[in-house]
Amino acid sequence: MEKLIIKGGHRLEGTVPISGAKNSALKLMCASLLSPEPLTIENLPRLADITTLIDLLNHLGVTVTIQGGMGGALKGRSLTFDAGQINDTVAPYDIVRKMRASILVLGPLVARAGEAIVSLPGGCAIGNRPIDLHLKALKALGAEIDIAEGYVRASAPQGLKGGKIRFPFVSVGATENALMAATLAKGTTIIENAAREPEIADLAACLNAMGARIEGAGHETITIEGVDQLHGATYSVMPDRVEAGSYAVAALMTRGNLFLEGAKAEHMQATLDVLEEAGGIITVEDGGVRVKSNGHIKGFNVVTQPFPGLATDMQAQLMALACVAEGASVITEAIFENRFMHVPELCRLGADITVTGSSATVRGVKALKAAPVMATDLRASMGLALAGLVATGETTVNRLYHLDRGYERLEEKLRAVGAVVDRVPA
Ligand code: UD1
């Protein structure tokens, strides 16, 4: 195990290259299961979650090859996923438990192979996170669903049939499972109250490049005309809006000036609006977004929401910002219960935070003070790392594997813009 040691107090200035989006890349990789022809995905980030999903796809029979070697340190990799033959329809517990997003093989597998047996993802650090909406969607497409011995089995030996799916509330993952499954269902599928996150539109664009017929992705209603077979394609992953947002927060917290190379403002407008209110000067430039501090950080009130609202994946990082703002902020988490595990850790750094139900009141302090901290999830860990960038002294962030799940070459990117940070064995 490794840990991060951050010496706080350094202003960040320069360019941060934004990697391909983890939350899109994982779904595109699952989409490769839908076609007997190879799917080449460009700009894949080098992350632990990507490796976990490669293991799962390998297990199912997908052959994965790296295009152009492992070089090109600053560019994402291109990988080809060849699901010519699906050898196994079981996604085992040992792999699924490492990453909840493994549930995204369920829809493609049952659509292509007529059966999918996937381990239930199990408990998660940020709430219960059930999969009922995923199952409801597949049932609406004619799949039979059984749950036994910790596994969910979806079967449709004669193939799926188009149908109407209306989600009672927005779920990114359930929309994606439904979307992928419907591409091969006979007839028309209509998904209502679909998630509108940019990753959904990215997935649909990739599926359409593979021959799917999807309209409306990125809107509330998505229509899919099923086709008999998808073909091969080459597709490049969208930039990671959460990674970009995290560095944008770092720019403000350190009173710095960062150019987020490759970031797209339209993917992260809600975050940029909050940062502007807090004292950021945001400019959309050629090839990216610049975030500069105006020298002050003001408190702000925010509520996380489905897209185009403020992303829950930015909540912990914005809380770190609020810790050093002038005045009080109220941060309400409306997507996941129990997503405030970074609060006691931020308090160890000297933050003043009171949690009541799903809202946290953060009273800004003059300075945070370094301490050893640890987090239980990916974005919470980033919140702590950001706090470490401005805390006086040396902050140690333990359990670095959480950060490695979602931030590519974090310490390298931070060091390149002036942070003093090291990765050391724990
Ligand atoms: C995805 C993202 C995650 C992000 C989240 C919300 C990936 C790999 N993960 O997670 O980073 O924080 O979107 O933007 O892309 N729910 C149910 N039943 C279901 C499914 C979800 O009750 O069947 C609930 C969840 O518990 C949660 C809410 O719906 O309270 C939203 O979850 P969802 O949008 O499904 O999140 P994920 O797709 O798991």
Tell me: the pLDDT tens digits for 347-376?
999 999 999 999 999 999 999 999 999 978
What is the spatial distance between Cα 159 and Cα 114, in angstroms, rounded to a whole number?
6
- CA-24 nearest atom, ligand 1: 15
Burial tier of 385 (Cβ tally within 10 Å: 0-12, 13-18, 19+): buried
The per-residue pLDDT for 74 is 45
CATH class of 22-236: alpha beta
pLDDT, tens only, 8-51: 999 999 999 999 999 999 999 999 999 999 999 999 999 999 99
Alpha carbon 379 to its chain centroid, in Å, reads 9
pLDDT exceeds cutoff 50 at 250: yes
Contact yes or no for 392/8 (Cβ under 8 A):
yes
Confidence of residue 337 (pLDDT cuts 50, 70, 90): confident
- Would you say 104 and 172 are in contact if contact means Cβ atoms under 8 Å apart? no
Q: How far, in Å, CA of 219 to CA of 143, rounded?
A: 25
- State if residue 307 touches ligand 1 by the CB under 6 angstroms criterion: no
Q: Is 173 in the pocket of ligand 1 (CB under 6 A)?
A: yes
pLDDT at 338: 83
- Percent of the chain beyond pLDDT 90? 91
**Residue 266, token pair as written in the block:** 């339209």
Q: Average model confidence (pLDDT) for the chain? A: 95
The widest CA-to-CA distance across the chain, in whole angstroms, is: 65
Domains 2-18+239-425 and 22-236 share a fold: yes
Distance from residue 263's CA to the centre of ligand 1 (Å): 23
> What pLDDT, on the 0 to 100 scale, is given for residue 375?
79
Mean pLDDT of 240-268: 98
The per-residue pLDDT for 376 is: 81
Asked if residue 336 has its Cβ within 6 Å of ligand 1, the reply is: yes
The reply to whether ligand 1 has any atom less than 6 angstroms from the CB of 312 is yes
pTM above 0.75, yes or no: yes
Output the CA 131–ligand 1 centroid distance in Å. 9
- The residues assigned a catalytic role are 124
Strands (E), 107-168: 115-119, 144-148, 151-155, 164-166
Centre of ligand 1 from the C-alpha of residue 370, in Å = 33
What are residue 310's DSSP bridge partners? 304
| pLDDT tens-digit map of 73-131 | 445 689 999 999 999 999 999 999 989 999 999 999 999 999 999 999 865 555 667 89
CA 325 remoteness from chain centre: 26
- Listed in order, strand segments (DSSP E) in 120-187 are 144-148, 151-155, 164-166
Which pLDDT belongs to residue 67?
Answer: 80
318 lines ligand 1 (CB under 6 A): no
Domains of the chain, residue spans: 2-18+239-425, 22-236
Residue 113, strand partner residues: none
Q: Are 221 and 166 in contact (CB under 8 A)?
A: no
CATH topology of domain 2-18+239-425: UDP-n-acetylglucosamine1-carboxyvinyl-transferase; Chain (3.65.10)
pLDDT mean over 208-226: 98
Distance from Cα 125 to the centre of ligand 1, integer Å = 13
Q: Which of 161, 164, 214 is nearest to 192 (CA)?
A: 164
Q: Determine how many CB atoms are found less than 10 A away from the CB of residue 363.
A: 15
State which ligand 1 atom lies nearest to the alpha carbon of 126: 26
Give the pLDDT mean for 267-293: 98
Any atom of ligand 1 within 6 Å of the Cβ of 202: no
pLDDT in tens, 165-211: 999 999 999 999 999 999 999 999 999 999 999 999 999 999 999 99
